[in-house]
Structure 1
């Protein structure tokens, strides 16, 4: 069953969503410059940032008990405590466009710079380092910590999956499908990295040795966007054009769940402490799916 909880005005977002250390859902209101908090009981709060036009995008829990997020439009990394106190830090590369962000084994946050072909690292006290990638105009997008301790990321326009070690060594793995345009990725329970291909309408996984497998979706034009993994090891992903949420098992079995409202624009998603799947709908709501 899928229900929708209104959390903001229709043109505010949300875009990214994650579970905070307090057990609540935290989400970005990308078009309004705010961060939202939604409890499993439906109570919602919002925290205004210092700029309504900063474009908060992807959000993740940090090793310091706060939430960290990218500010795509003003090229900063944000931090917000669970009581709503927010600060931000500039990245060295002007107009870098930070997008994906994830905590790593070194107790720092690593992020992508979509406009600069770089991967960034920020410590919890705000010290930033950047690592250039060996490609041009590749649009690094999502990033996640892998089971090997390295960071893995998608190259949306570079049509590849990348890996960067904690000391900055980069390896790139080209995708088999041309113009697949990978976006979201997540570490699976099977030791693989799972990702979605918005351009090809496929879900794929990559082994730690670089072997790639791809699974075509029932609707190749559904434009899958983000992906996450539940406690049972099932991967869940949003389908922006398909206005739906999909699931895929380790052996490639796919199921789809239509969202109740047309044109919902589903983006980020996260599994809540109650075991339900929560989906950020850019039309001002969060959807809850309990199978």
Structure 2
């Protein structure tokens, strides 16, 4: 079913063609976003003021993840590096990936102070230790196209786009377990829900996949051409999804009930997705803006 979109607000950011792509919300009320084609990272503070940081000519800031209450990790895919950014925004530190052409993409931060990332070009996982050293862990098969990554405690999940599968590492240095998904499904976005279930966006199958804690896989079909891309868990066992092809956001409950939230017709291409601490859902629109969907409790007042 569809929901009215009066709770959706549009916030223009960046210049034409810069392509807002990934998004992250930190506990200080800020919303961070990457301008993947502009080589910049933007920050919208709790009052709505915008500030930007250029990562240099040729940089391609792709993935984002909160590190602390006011800092984020960002991957520079073409620069084979990760940067820790603080308010300003400013660079606090940067870490080079040892393998040339690794193309770091997705990133998450763990409570122990480490960060993990995916390597599109290296088909591997990477780990940044608390002292800044980097370890790399190859993933099989060699053409799996390791894409996005999510975390629950010390357990990591990641999507293997070309292999139609999800990978799972329990406890940092354990062996990788694989969950097979339907052929030609193309998992991209991934999230771990509050109930421990893992969700994946199947961009080629126009579906969401839910992997229960016992390993059972359930598929939730979306409209043809929906092309789900990014996912963000809510606080009730469900998940939000950006529907790149349908120009909408979707919410799926733990029971598989889906609700569609269309975006205004004059904006398009929702990609990155984040749920802020206050429950606001944020998405990055590659057409040049951010969109926010007010939390349910605010809409019911």
**Please, what TM-score do these two structures have when normalized by structure 1?**
0.93
Q: Distance in 2 between matches of 1:209 and 1:155?
A: 20
Match of 2:116 in 1: 110
Question: Is the 8 Å Cα contact of residues 165 and 178 (structure 2) preserved in structure 1?
Answer: yes
**More displaced, 12-21 or 219-228?**
12-21
1:238-290 CA distances to partner (integer Å, 9 max, x unpaired)?
01111111110111111111111445111111122332211111122100112
**Aligned pairs (5 A) from 1:77-96:** 77-86=82-91, 87-96=93-102
Residue 186 of structure 1 and its aligned partner are, at CA, apart by 0.8
Structure 2 residue 248 is the aligned partner of structure 1 residue 244: yes
Aligned partner of 2:271 in structure 1 is 267
Over 3 Å counting, the alpha-carbon distance change for 1:172 and 1:225 in structure 2 is: same
The answer as to whether partners of 2:243 and 2:270 remain within 8 angstroms in 1 is yes
Structure 1 residues 65 and 277, CA gap change in structure 2 (3 angstroms)? closer
State how 1:148-187 maps to structure 2 within 5 Å.
149-165=154-170, 166-175=172-181, 177-187=182-192
Moved over 6 A (4+): none
Partner residue in 1 for 2:287 = 283
**Secondary structure of 1:115's match?**
coil
The 1:46–1:146 alpha-carbon spacing in structure 2 relative to 1, beyond 3 Å, is same
Aligned-residue offset at 1:232: 3.5
Alpha-carbon distance between aligned partners in 2 of 1:130 and 1:209, rounded to the nearest angstrom: 29
Aligned residues: 287
Deviates more, 1:260-269 or 1:193-202: 260-269
Using the alignment, how far apart are the partners of 1:263 and 1:242 within structure 2? 11
Matched, 1:140 2:146: yes
RMSD: 1.7
Report the alpha carbon displacement of residue 174 of structure 1 after superposing the two structures with TM. 0.9
Q: TM-score if structure 2 supplies the norm length?
A: 0.90
Aligned to 1:193, which of 195, 198, 201? 198
Distance in 1 of aligned mates of 2:228 and 2:58: 26
Contact 2:248/2:270 (<8 A) preserved: yes
**1:100 matches 2:110:** no
Long gaps (5+) in structure 1: none
State the 1:63 CA deviation: 4.8
